[in-house]
Structure 1
């Protein structure tokens, strides 16, 4: 932005130009010996044009700067920002700026101490230098200028959030201002050692918050190492999941190095860097137990977690569980982006349903249907209400969920007046349900309210094995299924085309599993190194394990893509099931976490 004072350096030439224009207009006669009348008239007109252009420009400037100021033409009011920050701080407080701001320094009257923090250096020496300066401070104000590329990994917000509470955050004078109330002594949180390989990267350290509050960001630190040159600017996704595995918050960021931050696409092997994440739960999230997970991706491709043998072991790594405490502030509304059908209906005395959301309009019999209820407490000391959601088809209840809100972990009698609570419930539709239009209804005590209709699709299930299977088998996995056989069609494979096989599973659990397990299919060389693989939901997602009913036969086809194209020789096929959240494999009665298939495959050069 160009301020008016910046034009002072060209004021002299402007005065000369205006003087000459005035001279042409007022001192040039129409008739002058030796010069044509046309030339003199043109000189006067040129001077007039200059004066008119200057006057018009001056008028526009006065209008845009003084009469109708616009942010594109007015310099940010740093003076007001400095005065505002001074009103928020005292002599025991600090103001941190990860850039040089001469204007703020000039206008800031104190008495808080101001420190300019150079973040383009390694984290450990920077934190060791900064800690003595902020030790003992009761409040820290962090100012970040959008035009300055500083602290892109959010190291300073992570440090302050780990040692205090974000009281407010606002935008002023082209800067984000975050105000933290600190808890002393201020410490640098330690990272727990980790050894998790994800593609070309390794997760070497994990730092989770020692205390988590519902209305505050969750400060998380991860230490990454490049085992080989990644070659791509990978992103990390931190997911916060509720007890049902539903993602309620996430924070996705490009992995950056510490010094002169560059993305992973330009990392060399051996480079190590901390990165920081601050996922925030949406307003109304109940104070219960959540799970933190991490994945690494680029575009639409998510990297595999690798076991010690280099075999894929899922797409996400579970960092740990955290229990959220109730927030100090009660949210005045749900987030504007909340997907909700408004209701505003009092279901019981003091218990208001603001709205609801159903995750799908069509569900298969045996499938899951999630209904999210958005509650508000209109009075304190509510009774421990037990809401119930039902799915009714032709007068028959085909699915239901009854219990205290928030998976039973946050009952109504713990709510504060005015509190809003998100209550997600997952119903399992009966595998025997007929097809048709079903009604979702909500019941609290004697109050019954219809919500909306969904279509239940009756699916055709197989309960008999094919008459012929290439390799019949009978190996059970974790009480969930028995592998009855495999079709492979050929005993040779080429790296130039996928290796196709079909597994035949029989569901043996009395009730459908709560977990949608993933099938892994691996082709290994003699040293158990991965040659080809495919991981995916059974039957390409048509039959997730949570829909299996006892006795059902699932034909599950996989096409293994080759990872090692130079290998030739004998290879072994192994398959199994694993929990994609916990990354735990189901085991056979002998304790093995995989099943070796009988056909031996020869990979041709």
Structure 2
């Protein structure tokens, strides 16, 4: 029987069962990654325009290529059929050689939605499946004119040239990422190793070999062009002001631009809370309590829930808060899932000890049945669905209280 060379199993919303994938040929920088994805149709989804979308992503989350063909939409699917879908993903010029992931999903343009990945217990487990592959260096160096360099520098450092830089972040809050791309060329080889040093004012943002320490200069070949992307976080305690961004590599020292660090108003005192609690989520965050606008509601009402969080540590993860109103039969009566403070203040910006007030408007479903409905909250990683653990709960969802739904 035919079978993929890289078998795996992933359930996409009970509509498609991913069986595995093949890598066709050798993916190369600046060319394409050819991937054949095997999946079996389980059921037709709710929309007829679902189709594959695949992104070539490095271990640090940068996307180096994407394809979204529309050659076999879900309106043509037949339950039980096996689909072997050949995807050609263009790879950006200068993409460093190394290990990458193809993030494979099924996407509906009309709904702007991705089919969720479900785990063995039918719980949400993210919106994509990871398909590992290795990218080889370019067979021929790219033409420099074809690179997307916005600021040409052509600065020489021994047998190395910094062709240019793209500074994508010129204003940020403490804790936010600074996006920067350096474009290098090895004019000769072999070359001695040198570390890249990036500083903002007197604060160190990065020190290490290029490509996050995975592609040292001594491994480069003559003529090789390396697109070297960075996204360091600004120190969370950095005062507001304008700071020079500087690069140093060996004898090369350059100012790359100025970054404005914005002020953040932080609160460390606990405000009055009508329902105080002390619940820890994964040793990362403490829920201090909540306020609720009403304990009874009718279908079509909107409840306002205010949560009070305290950071126990600094977090690199941007957690998503879930607020669920669950009917006695387990169906969802009302729901809000988003980053804290309406998406404007992600957890990665919080300082240890900081108190964050976080309000949610929860619409009660028009057809909600009368009875006592559970109000549950928690936090999870949006990419994987993994929740922060809460002791004493079966599914890491904290029951705040019940809300009584009465007839309209």
TM-score band by shorter chain is 0.7 to 0.9
From 336, 346, 353, the equivalent of 2:162 is 353
Query: Which is further off, 352-361 or 270-279?
Result: 270-279
d(CA) in 2 for partners of 1:195 and 1:343? 46
From 216, 221, 230, the equivalent of 1:425 is 230
d(CA) in 1 for partners of 2:332 and 2:53? 26
1:393-542 equivalences under 5 Å are 397-467=202-272, 469-509=273-313, 512-542=314-344
- The 8 Å contact of residues 470 and 489 in structure 1, kept in 2 or not, is answered as no
d(CA) in 2 for partners of 1:566 and 1:276? 44
- The 8 Å contact of residues 291 and 318 in structure 1, kept in 2 or not, is answered as no
Aligned to 2:48: 232
1:118-129 equivalences under 5 Å are none
From 543, 556, 581, the equivalent of 2:358 is 556
Query: Which is further off, 216-225 or 367-376?
Result: 216-225
Partner secondary structure for residue 584 of structure 1:
coil
d(CA) in 2 for partners of 1:294 and 1:562? 34
Q: 1:528 to 1:368 in 2, by over 3 A?
A: same
Question: What is the CA deviation profile of residues 376-404 of structure 1, one whole-angstrom value per residue up to 9, with x for unaligned ones?
Answer: 11111111110111111xxxx24511111
1:92-131 equivalences under 5 Å are none
Aligned to 1:209: 23
Partner secondary structure for residue 357 of structure 2:
strand
From 170, 183, 192, the equivalent of 2:7 is 192
Q: 1:497 to 1:335 in 2, by over 3 A?
A: farther
From 199, 204, 219, the equivalent of 1:390 is 199
Displacement of 1:352 after TM fit?
0.9
Displacement of 1:334 after TM fit?
6.7
d(CA) in 2 for partners of 1:416 and 1:320? 28
1:65-80 equivalences under 5 Å are none
Displacement of 1:408 after TM fit?
0.6
Partner secondary structure for residue 12 of structure 2:
strand
Partner secondary structure for residue 218 of structure 1:
strand
Aligned to 1:341: 151
Aligned to 1:5: none
Question: What is the CA deviation profile of residues 52-89 of structure 1, one whole-angstrom value per residue up to 9, with x for unaligned ones?
Answer: xxxxxxxxxxxxxxxxxxxxxxxxxxxxxxxxxxxxxx
Q: 1:444 to 1:460 in 2, by over 3 A?
A: same
d(CA) in 2 for partners of 1:435 and 1:335? 37
Partner secondary structure for residue 506 of structure 1:
strand
Aligned to 1:291: 101
Question: What is the CA deviation profile of residues 353-396 of structure 1, one whole-angstrom value per residue up to 9, with x for unaligned ones?
Answer: 1111122221012222121111111111111110111111xxxx
Displacement of 1:586 after TM fit?
1.9
Question: What is the CA deviation profile of residues 208-240 of structure 1, one whole-angstrom value per residue up to 9, with x for unaligned ones?
Answer: 428644344231414152534523312432122
Displacement of 1:495 after TM fit?
4.3
Moved over 6 A (4+): none
Partner secondary structure for residue 540 of structure 1:
helix
- Higher-Rg structure is 1
Structure holding more strand per residue: 2
Query: Which is further off, 223-232 or 481-490?
Result: 223-232
Displacement of 1:598 after TM fit?
2.1
d(CA) in 2 for partners of 1:519 and 1:497? 21
Aligned to 1:329: 140
d(CA) in 1 for partners of 2:338 and 2:231? 23
Partner secondary structure for residue 546 of structure 1:
helix
d(CA) in 1 for partners of 2:365 and 2:115? 12
Aligned to 1:68: none
Q: 1:433 to 1:220 in 2, by over 3 A?
A: same
In the alignment of these two chains, the number of paired residues is: 403
- The 8 Å contact of residues 17 and 42 in structure 2, kept in 1 or not, is answered as no
d(CA) in 1 for partners of 2:9 and 2:356? 38
For structure 1, the 5+ residue unaligned runs are 1-123, 125-186, 257-262
d(CA) in 2 for partners of 1:277 and 1:456? 42
Aligned to 1:374: 183
d(CA) in 2 for partners of 1:557 and 1:252? 37
Q: 1:330 to 1:553 in 2, by over 3 A?
A: same
Partner secondary structure for residue 325 of structure 2:
strand
Displacement of 1:485 after TM fit?
1.4
TM-score when scaled to structure 2? 0.88
- The 8 Å contact of residues 327 and 333 in structure 2, kept in 1 or not, is answered as yes
Whether 1:303 and 2:102 are equivalent positions in the alignment is no
Q: 1:515 to 1:598 in 2, by over 3 A?
A: closer
d(CA) in 2 for partners of 1:266 and 1:318? 23
Question: What is the CA deviation profile of residues 486-528 of structure 1, one whole-angstrom value per residue up to 9, with x for unaligned ones?
Answer: 222112344424443222211111xx32222222222223343
